[in-house]
Amino acid sequence: MGPMTAANMFLEEILSGNWPKPSHSSIVHLRAFLHGSLAFTGVGHATDRAVILGLSGEAPATVDPDAMDSIVRRVYESGEVHPHGHPAYRFSPETDLIFDYKTPLPAHTNGLVFEGLDEMQNVLLRRVYYSIGGGFVVTEDEINRIEHNSSNDSSSVPFPFATAKDMLDMATRSGLTIAEMKRANEETRMTRSDLDEGLDKIFFAMKSCVERGLGHEGELPGGLHIKRRAKKLYEKLIGDSKKNQLSPLSANDWLSTYAIAVNEENAAGGRVVTAPTNGAAGVIPAVISYYLRFCADANKSGVRDFLLTAAAIGGIIKSNASISGAEVGCQGEVGSASSMAAAGLTAVLGGSPKQIENAAEIALEHHLGMTCDPVAGLVQVPCIERNAMGAVKAVTAASLALHGDGHHFVSLDACIKTMRETGHDMSDRYKETSKGGLAVNVTDC
């Protein structure tokens, strides 16, 4: 998502004309450079396809998953991209999409560069972007401002919590739930109906992804010959339920099936919701699906509160550590997703703010140190099953927290700080580069 969005941003800047250029000169040729982890996992993570689609004018939220292959094929065949509102640009993926394994960009391991050239191959426009996780993209100037100025516009919202402690203190003083505080913050930027519509759209995208994953079978692309399992698992669970054969592991089986369905879709290049990232996209949809299937009082309002609570926790993690596997390992992806899901489920099951914070901490704590080591750079092994485990841990964490009174030994803030420090100390070999861990100890065949 990040590289596709960055390509969209570059096209928008070309069209704006707000950049210095020689008179009587125009961009006719595009180039893209992938650096750091984006280079090492580019093909496995379909970053090359994302760049091609982005330069073709496609956006993550609107691209038709069924049309993506034909769009990419046309670019390879023609050596051109045709974004809407632009002239055709020369872009041959074989020569104009460069994987630079040797030159990491300074601000983040997920860096990419776009260039626009004229007929004489002079570079007229060059821009550096960083994909910082969860589909978020910042420019070179923006990431420098973030690094040198930690202030933000939080004073413009009624509940500007930057840490879990702030969040709990504000909840105590206001008497509001975490979801209610998060809603109040969001409603400074949009109406209540717009917020609800946006939350429903996110849920619908998650639900659609689960359904799509449960309906497909066959082999995942990439060469590992991994077969989809979600459909067969789902059919077996449905069959068992019709026979009244309730397994003691039934809840875990449903959680795993939902999560696997989403992450098989992600591995196949389908549309997922960054929650908080593509690689961890299955955890929250799985736990919401579990909530709707197994909790008697589940409803649309509960789903909205789940998402608002999860967003509050995810924002704290992202602000104080990272959700990027390339930056801190999979603890920042599946660990964060599990923490967010645990908080959301605890909230909709009636948990207090303290119990919600406790659930988020439990889930994150038991992902600490998890590396990001995708085999062949593909988001398949161990990523798909890892989401299933993250969903199960989230439900377990919620259950443990709800059986307590919210008081616990390790705070969520301490856990987030530990995750950040652990990630910074972790060798880059174990942070999405596919140069260590399972990625080198499992034979690619």
What's the pLDDT tens digit per position in 89-145? 999 999 999 999 989 898 888 899 999 999 999 999 999 999 988 788 999 888 877
- What integer pLDDT is reported at residue 140 of this predicted model? 86
| Dist. CA 425–CA 427, nearest whole Å | 6
Q: How confident is the model at residue 66 (pLDDT cuts 50, 70, 90)?
A: confident
The whole-number average pLDDT for the span 352-364 is 98
**What sections of 321-405 are H helices per DSSP?**
325-328, 334-348, 353-365, 383-402
The whole-number average pLDDT for the span 28-46 is 89
Cis peptide before 60 (omega within 30 of 0): no
- What integer pLDDT is reported at residue 247 of this predicted model? 81
Question: Is residue 370 predicted with pLDDT exceeding 90?
Answer: yes
Write out the two tokens for 222: 């990439």
Percent of the chain scoring above 70 in pLDDT? 97
- What integer pLDDT is reported at residue 445 of this predicted model? 47
- What integer pLDDT is reported at residue 235 of this predicted model? 97
The whole-number average pLDDT for the span 177-186 is 98
Q: Which residue has the higher pLDDT, 38 or 213?
A: 213
Rounded to two decimals, the pTM is 0.84
- What integer pLDDT is reported at residue 6 of this predicted model? 96
Q: Indicate the burial class of 114 (C-beta count within 10 angstroms; 0-12, 13-18, 19 or more).
A: buried
The whole-number average pLDDT for the span 291-310 is 97
**What sections of 17-161 are H helices per DSSP?**
37-40, 47-55, 68-78, 93-96, 140-148
CATH number assigned to the domain covering 2-147? 3.30.1330.90
Q: How confident is the model at residue 444 (pLDDT cuts 50, 70, 90)?
A: low
- What integer pLDDT is reported at residue 151 of this predicted model? 46
Q: How confident is the model at residue 49 (pLDDT cuts 50, 70, 90)?
A: very high
* Residue 327 CA, distance from chain mean position: 13
Q: Please, are residues 437 and 371 in contact by the beta-carbon 8 Å criterion?
A: yes
Question: Is residue 200 predicted with pLDDT exceeding 90?
Answer: yes
| Dist. CA 298–CA 125, nearest whole Å | 52
- What integer pLDDT is reported at residue 117 of this predicted model? 97
Ordered by start, the domain boundaries in the chain are 2-147, 154-441
- What integer pLDDT is reported at residue 52 of this predicted model? 97
Q: How confident is the model at residue 300 (pLDDT cuts 50, 70, 90)?
A: very high
| Dist. CA 371–CA 46, nearest whole Å | 20
Write out the two tokens for 426: 């972790």
What residue type is assigned to position 130 of the chain?
Y
Q: How confident is the model at residue 147 (pLDDT cuts 50, 70, 90)?
A: low
Q: What is the mean pLDDT of the chain?
A: 93
- What integer pLDDT is reported at residue 31 of this predicted model? 98
Q: Which of 147-156, 223-232, 254-263, 413-422 has the lowest mean pLDDT?
A: 147-156
Q: How confident is the model at residue 149 (pLDDT cuts 50, 70, 90)?
A: low
Q: What does the pLDDT look like over 223-245, one tens digit per residue?
A: 999 999 999 999 999 999 888 77
